[in-house]
Amino acid sequence: MSYADPAASPTVAALLSLKGRTALVVGGAGLLGSEISFALAEQEATVIMAGRDAGRCHHRADEIMQKMPGARARGLNMDITKPDSIRAGVEEAARLTGGFHILVNCGWSGRKNTFESITDEDWDRDIEVSLNGVFRTIKAAVPVLATRNGVILNIASMYGVVAPDPGLYDSSKFANPPSYGAAKAGIVQLTRYLAAFLAPQGIRVNCISPGPFPYETTQVENPEFIKRLAAKNPLGRIGRPHELKGVAVLLCSDASSYMTGQNVSVDGGWTVW
């Protein structure tokens, strides 16, 4: 093919297709991870959904296969707070699939805290899950990805880009802890670092910074908070989890074959003003 031959270039549908690819989605049964897992499956990827709650992962995988006959998905036990569990999980995912092409890091858990209330233990645990766990997962997965022109997609956050407005949070029960933004900013920079250092191995690394996607429980418990979140955002509303599907497919597929080291914000405009 000549350098520019639009008549012969791959179609958009072909570029976005994940047929023949396998994805390991860590945190794949969570609020955003589920949507991403479904999106990858819809593009015909085989999806391994890994998480601490293996039952929930299996359940989500069954849902995928029920919704899409012919789709291949399964759950996998993996606790990203435990280095042994990460290594075992990555090995198991590679064994089950004969090697995966896509790694999505979507795992997260943490306690609500203010700067005043957060303890050393809370801080350490949050960083352990949100940053150290991602590092260890990537380190374990790179040998698998390196032979397959792999891609890594990390889920960061708007709070890795800007600070929360304390006025949005009326009590420490809902407060976004300082550890969260620090870990997520770390993810953004780790993404850039790895984009540079893994490029020679043919691995692309990008991240998504979601805006406000509060849990449904928060929406029910604290509608006033949701109103404040919506009012602060240029688009005037919180995000709908399915609004991450498009960007996840873009960044995991050949449609983004010349993108690496980027942070794509999906935040309703939160960080533009």
Partner 1 sequence: MASDRFALDGRVALVTGGAGILGRRFCSGLAEHGAAVAIVDIDAEGAKRLADEISRETGGRTLPVACDLREPEQVRRMADDVVSAFGRIDVLHNNAAGKSSDLDAFFAPFEDYSLKQWRAVMAIDLDAMFLVAQAVGKHMVARGGGGSVIQTASIYGVVAADQRIYAGSEYGGRPINTPAVYAAAKAGVIGLTRHLAAYWAPHRIRVNALTPGGVESGQNETFRRRYSDRVPMGRMANPDEMVGALVYLASDASSYVTGQNIIVDGGLTAW
Q: What is the CA radius of gyration of the chain?
A: 19
Query: d(Cα 171, Cα 166) in Å, to the nearest integer?
Result: 10
Please state the closest distance from residue 166 (CB atom) to partner 1, in A: 8
Would you say 68 or 168 has its CB closer to partner 1?
168
Please state the closest distance from residue 167 (CB atom) to partner 1, in A: 9
Q: What residues form DSSP beta bridges with 151?
A: 102, 204
Q: Determine which one of 3, 180, 215, 258 is catalytic.
A: 180
Q: Distance from first CA to last CA of the chain, Å, rounded? A: 44
CA atoms 222, 39, 127, 179: torsion sign: negative
Please state the closest distance from residue 162 (CB atom) to partner 1, in A: 5
Question: What is the distance, to the nearest Å, from the Cα of residue 246 to the centroid of all Cα atoms in its chain?
Answer: 13
Please state the closest distance from residue 134 (CB atom) to partner 1, in A: 24
Directed axis angle between helix 133-146 and helix 83-97, to 10°? Answer: 30
Structure tokens at 216: 């449904």
Would you say 3 or 273 has its CB closer to partner 1?
273
Query: d(Cα 83, Cα 46) in Å, to the nearest integer?
Result: 25
Is residue 198 within 8 A of residue 205, CB to CB? The reply is yes
Would you say 65 or 168 has its CB closer to partner 1?
168
* Active-site annotation holds for 180: yes
Interface with partner 1 (CB under 8 A): 162-165, 234, 269, 271-273
Would you say 96 or 162 has its CB closer to partner 1?
162
CB atoms under 10 Å from CB of 117, counted, come to 12
Residues involved in catalysis: 180
